Amino acid sequence: MRLSFSVPDALWLRAREAYPIFGDSRLVQVAMECLIADSRPAYLEGPPPESADRLRGLQARLSREARSAFEMGYDAGLELAEVLDWRTLDRLAAAHWRLDDVLSSPGSGSLADRLGALLAERTDEASACFVAELERGRRCWRDADLRRAATFAGGLVLALRQCFEAGDVVLTGDEAEGVAIR
């Protein structure tokens, strides 16, 4: 991995004096390795043994909630596939179904509008969280983060993708006729 960073001259010179034998990259790598080693706690991390049952119970409940959020997203995706135009679907496919890439690109207003209208009536927490991110994105896309509603968004995109991939797209003889999906 390549990174760029800045370091005050005085700090860099002090580090260089202390470790003159390393090249620049190696010096930074050694510094990072030492930082990690020095930060490692002396105590044991992870669940105390008596927590196993509580963890299992929480896992079961939250898995159910996650599945429910995913299914709500999937259902929303099926509804969206009913009304979305071909051009937007094609853009999503071209963006490898990265919803945030498409929503953050210029001219994505119609997709955000469709999604907003579709989900406006829903009162569940998963839909509300997704709509809240859409609203943030309308003001300034940098403030939105679809990872906050990743499970719902994952279901929504899967439904769109399955609808898209279920039909082979063929151009009819006269391209002016448009595009048919069979």
Q: At closest approach, how far in Å is the CB of 44 from other proteins?
A: 7
| Distance separating alpha carbons of residues 114 and 77, to the nearest angstrom | 11
Stretch that binds other proteins, among 3-11, 77-85, 104-112, 172-180 (CB under 8 A): 3-11
Q: At closest approach, how far in Å is the CB of 30 from other proteins?
A: 7
- Looking at the Cβ atoms of 58 and 180, the one nearer to other proteins is 58
Q: How many CA atoms lie within 13 A of 166 on its CB side?
A: 8
Q: At closest approach, how far in Å is the CB of 170 from other proteins?
A: 27
Site mask for other proteins (CB under 8 A), range 115-134, x = bound: ----------xx--x-----
Q: Which residues pair with 171 in a beta bridge?
A: 179
The residue assigned the tokens 């909630």 is 65
Q: Which residues pair with 179 in a beta bridge?
A: 171
Is 142 one of the binding residues for other proteins (CB under 8 A)? no
Give the contacts of 76 (CB within 8 A, at least 6 positions apart): 115, 118, 119, 122, 127, 152, 155, 156, 159
- Alpha carbon distance, N-terminus to C-terminus of the chain: 45
Residues that bind other proteins (CB under 8 A): 3-8, 11-12, 14-15, 18-19, 27-28, 30-32, 34-36, 38-48, 51, 54-55, 58-59, 62-63, 65-67, 69-70, 125-126, 129, 145, 147-151
